């Protein structure tokens, strides 16, 4: 069933002012150059909707949403009502848990879902005419050519009891859980080989709407359980709390191309590094990172390593995100250029994330190449301008003038000494 996405299209078609279900994109990055998505630098976020302040990070539309002992109240009093909240931040992989009591009423739909600007979507939807089941669904890149992805799972009294509905989202799988128990799993390869797997930053959408409204298509009305009788209202759903585990905290997410792929997403202002991630930073700028992770707090790849003792020169750089890297080389320029080798991470200005290993041509502030013994390699070729977000050290193929001068002095001094020693040895023979 098309679910909330189909309803949004119908709502826009009839231009119902009070219906502002956010299942469309104001700017689709696959079709246009769009602003970066606002992220969150927090790894864990919790919103207690028994307090009105919990709404501060959400946009409210489609009707008023009071808060109280049961949390935020989403109510349909009449045709056209569709109170909705949308988070003002996005996150890129992690976990969303919503403590919800669904609304009763034929044709009434209680929705909680994640959605990206290119219309990736992961859904929970409860129908008011069914008090023993709830729907899971997903969409990739807004593809509604088929409606064969939904499943219905059993749940006890969703309209009279609060349950915790969770979405666990990683680059490899999506799990739907009810009260901590997995009820469905989607693997990346099972979504058209990954082409329709949700894989771009998403924000949180919560709302109630009338699937049985007369303005909807007959297919939507039938799916929702039949026409809505508004005289039997009001119909209310409640959200007591929302919790987010943010796998890849960042100030923002930028779409570097129009592919809609996870690899196209670039991070800025990241304060945390998750597993299988690459973080780079410049002391003069905020850090930039690109990461894909199925873990929220397991940084197996960090920009912190120690080079071996058998080096001629070591250069240490420190970033604003507290990541440290110690590089080694046999020669360095007067500007501190080195060819770096670090354990588990490699500096990069704009590397793209991937599963397992990462390879990209960077547009960072390093010139040369850097390789890590972990799972990623990047090669860059640009100026060592401080405006870049990469490491403040640059790779160079030749030794610096100061190094050459020192070598010449040493050679001039050591040559006579070596000759004198040789003559002494011959005389002793």
- Residues with catalytic roles: 121, 125
DSSP H helices in 86-175: none
Stretch (H or E) spanning 324 = strand 324-329
In this structure, are residues 195 and 180 in contact, taking their beta carbons and an 8 Å threshold?
Answer: no
Three-state DSSP class for residue 204: strand
Structure tokens at 8: 């949004």
d(CA 133, CA 100): 14
In this structure, are residues 123 and 140 in contact, taking their beta carbons and an 8 Å threshold?
Answer: no
Three-state DSSP class for residue 369: strand
d(CA 77, CA 59): 20
Strand partners, 394: none
Residues in contact with 400: Cβ distance below 8 Å, sequence separation at least 6, in sequence order:
331, 332, 333, 334, 335, 337
Strand partners, 154: 133
Residues in contact with 357: Cβ distance below 8 Å, sequence separation at least 6, in sequence order:
375, 376, 377
Strand partners, 175: 168, 185
Parallel/antiparallel/unpaired status of strands 358-362 and 376-381:
parallel
Nearest to 290 by CA among 358, 339, 203, 344: 358
Which segments within 62-120 are labelled E, that is strand?
67-68, 71-76, 84-87, 94-101, 108-116
């Amino acid at each position: 069933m098309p679910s909330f996405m189909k309803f949004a299209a119908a709502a826009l078609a009839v231009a119902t002012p009070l219906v502002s279900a956010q299942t469309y994109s104001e700017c689709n990055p696959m079709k246009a150059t769009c602003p970066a998505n606002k992220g969150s630098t927090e790894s864990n976020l919790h919103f207690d909707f028994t307090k009105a302040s919990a709404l501060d990070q959400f946009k409210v539309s489609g009707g008023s949403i009071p808060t109280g002992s049961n949390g935020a109240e989403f109510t349909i009093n009449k045709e056209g009502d569709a109170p909705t909240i949308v988070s003002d931040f996005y996150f890129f992989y992690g976990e969303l848990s919503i403590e919800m009591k669904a609304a009763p009423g034929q044709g009434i739909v209680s929705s909680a879902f994640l959605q990206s600007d290119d219309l990736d979507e992961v859904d929970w939807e409860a129908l008011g005419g069914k008090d023993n089941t709830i729907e899971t669904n997903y969409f990739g890149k807004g593809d509604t050519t088929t409606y064969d992805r939904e499943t219905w799972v059993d749940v006890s009294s969703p309209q009279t009891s609060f349950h915790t509905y969770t979405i666990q989202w990683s680059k490899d799988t999506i799990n739907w859980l009810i009260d901590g128990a997995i009820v469905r799993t989607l693997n990346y390869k099972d979504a058209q080989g990954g082409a329709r797997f949700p894989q771009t930053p998403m924000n949180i959408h919560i709302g109630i709407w009338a699937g049985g409204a007369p303005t909807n298509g007959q297919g939507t009305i039938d799916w929702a359980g039949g026409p809505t009788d508004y005289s039997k209202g009001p119909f209310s759903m409640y959200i007591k709390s929302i919790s987010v585990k943010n796998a890849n905290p960042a100030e923002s997410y930028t779409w570097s191309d129009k592919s809609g792929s996870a690899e196209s997403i670039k991070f800025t202002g990241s304060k945390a590094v998750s597993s299988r991630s690459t973080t780079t930073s410049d002391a003069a700028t905020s850090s930039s990172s690109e990461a894909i992770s199925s873990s929220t707090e397991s940084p197996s790849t960090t920009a912190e390593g120690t080079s071996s003792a058998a080096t001629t020169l070591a250069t240490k750089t420190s970033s604003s995100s507290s990541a440290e890297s110690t590089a080694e080389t046999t020669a360095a320029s007067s500007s501190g250029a080195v060819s770096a080798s670090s354990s588990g991470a490699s500096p990069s200005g704009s590397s793209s994330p991937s599963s397992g290993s990462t390879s990209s041509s960077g547009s960072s502030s390093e010139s040369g190449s850097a390789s890590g013994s972990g799972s990623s390699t990047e090669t860059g070729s640009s100026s060592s301008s401080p405006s870049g977000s990469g490491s403040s050290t640059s790779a160079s193929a030749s030794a610096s003038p100061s190094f050459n001068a020192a070598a010449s002095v040493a050679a001039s001094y050591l040559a006579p000494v070596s000759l004198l020693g040789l003559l002494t040895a011959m005389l002793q023979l």
